[in-house]
Chains A and B, each alone.
Chain A
């Protein structure tokens, strides 16, 4: 089986999520990559180095510059004439593009796969991760998105794929990119961080988040996260949100501070290796999944922890 993997990149480097998608794709067969964008020669040569990659298709065109699905989906659909599966990381970009490709190919997509069980059989979470479905595609071609935290990342080097230019596609003329506000962070990206320190509603304010959560994260070199309640209350920006409707993370250590542990939040972090919960309510559901739980007032316990660790 020949798979085509969507390479997510920032114009200069391949993003980590792609490496997990490559691992999933390699379980299906021959791995080809698609690098689309404007001025992406550098990304393509980096992508060719990923272990296990046989070929990199490069679509260099201004129309592909901002991942507009109206322009990219027809390009992918055309390339799929010579591939059996399209695999994208389950990032906001992958989730935006892949279903449009699937419908153009008249196949059902299988979203956020957790494992490859057979040539057309996969597992995936449903109901916010409260159930795991094993599903088999009956379609001729596969379209999959891959949950990044469920697969090891392929090595970024050691491969020797050939690079080939693609001339297909262009601007469909129905959408354009206006601008972006990307939150600047000097710390690790949430979805790939080894340690995450997350704060919830119990913090009470944006100032307290800065005062209590940030120093612990700084000390541990951790990424910052939050529950939906903390985001909705305006303590932190939206992209900090961990959960069914936010980001899905699985770090080595996840600190849930002042987070009760609603099922929508657990859906985003319960695959973390170690969960540490600090909450003053000893009946909070978070303690049912926490490996280490401390029943204490976070305003005194967290600064003490930051000082002693």
Chain B
């Protein structure tokens, strides 16, 4: 089967975001960007399924500016076979993203779509579920184990109290949680090889999707700052302070 893997270019997770002084957003000029960590896990899982002989082809997809090509090249260097960049400088919301991925799924007919559970910039945690709704396919969100067995996939999910397992009819949508796998690093020869792998460039209009925002950002501000605390000298002082606050056994 073919696997479709959407990936997003986001502010690197190690970088502390700075809110712009005019309150219009987070400053992304001259900061390190990389592949959303949950998407790396998605690419890795697709490659493992290919290594097991379950998947035959892996198509990485990204919606974003021209520079999102770098993110797709990373996916290709990890082991994806080809890539599609849906190029736009607009910020695309999860609903419009899901519509673009639905159109691509219609064209590509994948057996599985593996997305990250959330992107670490918008923290929405919506796109996979929305894509599942639009395709009418089953969804296995927050996956920590994925096993394709014939015409269905069993997905172990990380839920609030522990784990649960669901069995989904293929084609299906899976969203990755952190513990699904440990993504590999792309080796230098593979990075070189990735440069010659096919990468198609499209636009949202090619898929007939309107990306006009449905949610208007009024402003973006810094979170409230915690007032500075005190350092205590020893355990006795800590105990005294805690007891003064009413914390005791």
- Considering only CB atoms and an 8 Å cut-off, how many residues of chain A contact the other chain? 90
The answer to whether B130 and A179 have CB atoms under 8 Å apart is no
17 intermolecular pairs with C-beta atoms under 8 Å apart: A92-B159, A93-B160, A99-B126, A108-B93, A109-B124, A127-B121, A135-B215, A137-B215, A172-B138, A175-B166, A180-B159, A181-B163, A182-B161, A219-B249, A296-B234, A304-B235, A309-B242
Q: Give Cα A144 to B164, complex, Å.
A: 24
Q: Which residues of B contact A70 (CB under 8 A)?
A: 132, 138-139
Q: Give Cα A156 to B134, complex, Å.
A: 36
Per-residue 0/1 for A243-254: is the Cβ within 8 Å of any B Cβ (1 yes, 0 no)? 011010000110
A270 touches B (CB below 8 Å): yes
Nearest neighbor of B221 in chain A, beta-carbon distance: A132
B79 touches A (CB below 8 Å): no
Q: Which residues of A contact B229 (CB under 8 A)?
A: 275, 287, 289-293
Q: Which of A275-294 contact B (CB under 8 A)?
A: 275-276, 282, 287-294
Nearest neighbor of B125 in chain A, beta-carbon distance: A95
The answer to whether B179 and A126 have CB atoms under 8 Å apart is no
Instruction: List A residues at the B interface (Cβ < 8 Å).
Output: 66, 68-70, 73, 91-93, 95-104, 106-112, 121, 125-139, 172-183, 191, 195, 219-220, 228, 231-232, 237-239, 244-245, 247, 252-253, 263-264, 270, 274-276, 282, 287-296, 301, 304-305, 308-309
B53 touches A (CB below 8 Å): no
- Report the contact-size class of chain B (Cβ under 8 Å from the partner): 35 or more
Q: Give Cα A106 to B113, complex, Å.
A: 21
Instruction: List B residues at the A interface (Cβ < 8 Å).
Output: 11, 13, 16-17, 19, 26, 93-95, 98, 117-118, 120-134, 136-139, 141-142, 144, 154, 157-169, 172, 177-179, 213-223, 226, 228-232, 234-236, 238-239, 241-243, 245, 247-249
Q: Give Cα A276 to B98, complex, Å.
A: 42
The answer to whether B95 and A108 have CB atoms under 8 Å apart is yes
Instruction: Please give the distance in Å from A235's CB to the nearest CB on chain B.
Output: 14
Instruction: Please give the distance in Å from A138's CB to the nearest CB on chain B.
Output: 5
Q: Which residues of B contact A104 (CB under 8 A)?
A: 133
Instruction: Please give the distance in Å from B212's CB to the nearest CB on chain A.
Output: 9
Q: Give Cα A275 to B229, complex, Å.
A: 9
Q: Which 9 A-B pairs have the closest CB atoms?
A: A99-B129, A103-B133, A103-B130, A99-B126, A291-B229, A108-B214, A180-B164, A178-B165, A175-B138
The answer to whether A191 and B160 have CB atoms under 8 Å apart is yes
The answer to whether B94 and A93 have CB atoms under 8 Å apart is no
The answer to whether A111 and B241 have CB atoms under 8 Å apart is no
Nearest neighbor of A272 in chain B, beta-carbon distance: B226
Nearest neighbor of A109 in chain B, beta-carbon distance: B126
Q: Give Cα A228 to B220, complex, Å.
A: 28
Q: Give Cα A292 to B245, complex, Å.
A: 11
The answer to whether A305 and B238 have CB atoms under 8 Å apart is yes
